[in-house]
Structure 1
Amino acid sequence: MSKIEYDPVKDKFSAIIKNSRVLRRIFYFLLDLFFLRSWHIRRMIKRAGEALDQKGEWKLLDAGCGFGQYDRFILSCFDNVTVDSVDVKKDYLRDNEHYFEDEIKRGEVQFYYADLLQFDADKTFDMAICIDVLEHIEEDVRVMENISKHLKHGGYFLMHSPSHYSEEDGDEDDSFVGEHARPGYSKEEISDKLKQAGLEPKRVHYTYGFWGHKAWVLSVKWPMIWFNKLGLFAAIPLLIYYPVVMPFCLLMNLADLYTKNEKGNGIYALARKA
Structure 2
Amino acid sequence: MDYDPVKDRLGAFFWKTPTRTKAFFRTLDAVFLRSWYVRRALREIIGASDRQRPFRVLDAGTGFGQYAYWLVKTFPHVEVLAVDVKQDYLDRARAFLDTTPYASRVTFEQRDLTEPMAEEDAFDLCLSVDVMEHIEDDRAVFRNFHRVLASGGHVIVNTPSDQGGSGVTEEGDESWIGEHVRDGYNAGELREKLETAGLEHVRTEYGYGPWGTVGWRLLVKWPIAALNTTWAAAPLLAPYYALAGPAGLALNRADLARDNASGTGLTVVSRKP
Asked whether the 8 Å contact 1:64–1:88 carries over to 2, the reply is yes
Equivalent residue in structure 1 for 2:39, among 42, 47, 57: 42
Question: Equivalent residues in 2 for 1:76-95 (5 A)?
Answer: 76-95=73-92
Match of 2:176 in 1: 175
Secondary structure, aligned partner of 1:168: coil
TM superposition score normalised by structure 2: 0.93
| Greater helix fraction, Structure 1 or Structure 2 | 1
> Whole-Å Cα distance in 1 between the matches of residues 101 and 248 of structure 2?
36
- Local SS of the residue matching 1:157: strand
Greater CA deviation, 239-248 or 34-43? 239-248
Distance in 2 of aligned mates of 1:112 and 1:149: 18
C-alpha deviation, 1:241, in angstroms: 1.8
CA distance in 1: counterparts of 2:224 and 2:17, whole angstroms? 23
Which of 130, 145, 163 aligns to 1:147? It is 145
Q: What code does the residue aligned with 1:172 have?
A: D
Structure 1 position 102, deviation (Å): 5.1
1:160 matched to 2:161? The reply is no
Q: What secondary structure does 1:107 align onto? A: helix
User: 2:249 matched to which residue of 1?
Assistant: 250
Aligned AA (2:270)? A
Shift of 1:169: 7.7
Residue 187 of structure 1 aligns to which amino acid in structure 2? A
Structure 1 counterpart of 2:225, one-letter code: I
2:53 aligned to which of 52, 56, 77: 56
- Aligned partners of 2:175 and 2:183 also within 8 Å: no
Query: Aligned partners of 2:239 and 2:99: how far apart in 1?
Result: 37
Task: Report sequence identity in percent.
Answer: 38
Deviates more, 1:119-128 or 1:165-174: 165-174
State the distance in 2 between where 1:214 and 1:105 align. 36
May I ask how many residue pairs the two structures share in their alignment? 269
- Residue 132 (structure 1) aligns with: 130
**Is 1:125–1:155's contact at 8 Å kept on the other side of the alignment?**
yes
Cα deviation, residue 5, structure 1: 2.5
Taking only aligned residues, the RMSD between alpha carbons, in angstroms, comes to 1.8
Give the AA of the match of 2:144: N
TM-score by length of 1: 0.93
Which 5+ residue runs of structure 1 have no aligned equivalent? none
Cα distance in 2 for partners of 1:64, 1:199 equals: 20
Residues 1:74 and 2:71 aligned together? yes
Structure 2: where are the runs of 5+ without partners? none
Whether the 8 Å CA contact 1:59–1:82 is kept in 2: the answer is: yes
Mapping 1:93-242, distance limit 5 Å: 93-101=90-98, 107-121=104-118, 122-166=120-164, 167-168=168-169, 172=173, 175-176=176-177, 178-231=178-231, 233-242=232-241
2-side partners of 1:251 and 1:105: how far apart? 31
Q: Aligned-pair distance for 1:80?
A: 1.0
Cα distance in 2 for residues equivalent to 1:186 and 1:197: 17
Structure 1 residue runs of 4 or more that deviate by more than 6 Å after TM superposition:
none
Query: Residues 174 and 64 (structure 1 numbering): CA distance in 2 closer, same or farther, change over 3 Å?
Result: closer
Instruction: Provide the rounded CA distance (Å) in 1 between the counterparts of 2:267 and 2:153.
Output: 17
SS of equivalent residue, structure 1 residue 179: coil
* Partner Cα separation in structure 2 for residue 201 and residue 174 of structure 1: 28
